Amino acid sequence: MGLVRNGEIEMAPREAATVTACLIIIGNEILSGRTPDRNVAYAAKWLNEKGIQVREVRVIPDVEETIVATVNECRATFDYVFTTGGIGPTHDDITSASVARAFGVPIVRNEEARRLLEDQYIPGDLTEARLKMADIPAGAELIENPISRAPGFQIENVFVMAGVPAIMRAMFDSVQHRLVGGAPVASRQVACFLAEGQIAKALGAIQDRYPDLDIGSYPFWKMRKFGVSVVLRGTDTDILEVATEEVRDMIRGFGGEPQDESGD
């Protein structure tokens, strides 16, 4: 909490800090099923590598009240909030104005953003609708968009980015230096052709012995056989290795053959 607003926390041992994030995906097209989400998995992995754990995702419509309420709830709950979508030139692009309202600040034409757009369009093409993309909450810092120039912005711990996957990815790279992560979460993944129900009790006992790890179990169906992937996640790689070896032993104990997989 308050990580970005308070430099002090950086002095704490990095191992001690758990840094959390929430993604807010803004767009009727995701909620209608028209556009399958392609951003959550990418953002989650990218942030995780930086020691920032995505703890919640919300997909919400282009409705001002909902955006305002969601942004305000999430920015009070998580260290970082990343929104995607709704910062283009059309009437349904209301994210910037809604975030301004969430922070209780006016939305103003940002001169730096306007210059970026002027460089991008030939003069007659820079319509008022496109200029709207230079309207940013007062006090926000721009987020560079190397692809189509129209910037995102950061205000306190909220990062407002485009929904187009390639632009969102570039914007994450643009803000990397502004983010302070905690201990990166490492993972190990072991699969076997045993059923989840066979190993459930023994796996639960391993989870009980390693409360600092997050152990998940994911059934699959492959080569006409049921199997299960066990994923272990934690910040202490020594403990992770010991627990992973216990999972392998447990699988062997049931007559299975543990196979290491590359996990996330």
Q: Which residues bind a copy of itself (CB under 8 A)?
A: 25, 27-37, 40-45, 48, 53-62, 66, 88-92, 121, 125, 127-130, 132, 164, 185, 187, 196-201, 203-204, 207-208, 214-219, 231, 233, 263-264
Instruction: Confirm if 47 and 21 have CB atoms less than 8 A apart.
Output: yes
Which CB, 5 or 38, lies closer to a copy of itself?
38
Token pair 């430099």: residue: 7
CB of 88 to a copy of itself, least distance (A): 6
Judged by CB, which is closer to a copy of itself: 146, or 197?
197
Query: Following DSSP, what letter does each residue of 69-132 receive, concatenated?
Result: HHHHHHHHHSSEEEEES--SSSTT--HHHHHHHHHT--EEE-HHHHHHHHHHS-GGG--HHHHG
* Distance in Å, CB of 38 to a copy of itself, minimum: 8
Residue placing its CB nearer to a copy of itself in the complex, 142 or 198:
198
CB of 122 to a copy of itself, least distance (A): 12
If you search the block for the tokens 């196979």, which residue do you land on? Answer: 259
* Contacts for 96 with CB less than 8 Å, ≥ 6 apart: 86, 87, 107, 135, 136, 137, 153, 160
Closest CB 187 distance from a copy of itself, rounded Å = 7
Minimal distance in Å, beta carbon 77 to a copy of itself? 10
Is residue 196 within 8 Å of 217, Cβ to Cβ? yes
CA atoms 146, 147, 148, 151: torsion sign: negative
Q: Which is nearer to a copy of itself, 91 or 177 (CB)?
A: 91
- C-beta closer to a copy of itself: residue 87 or 160: 87
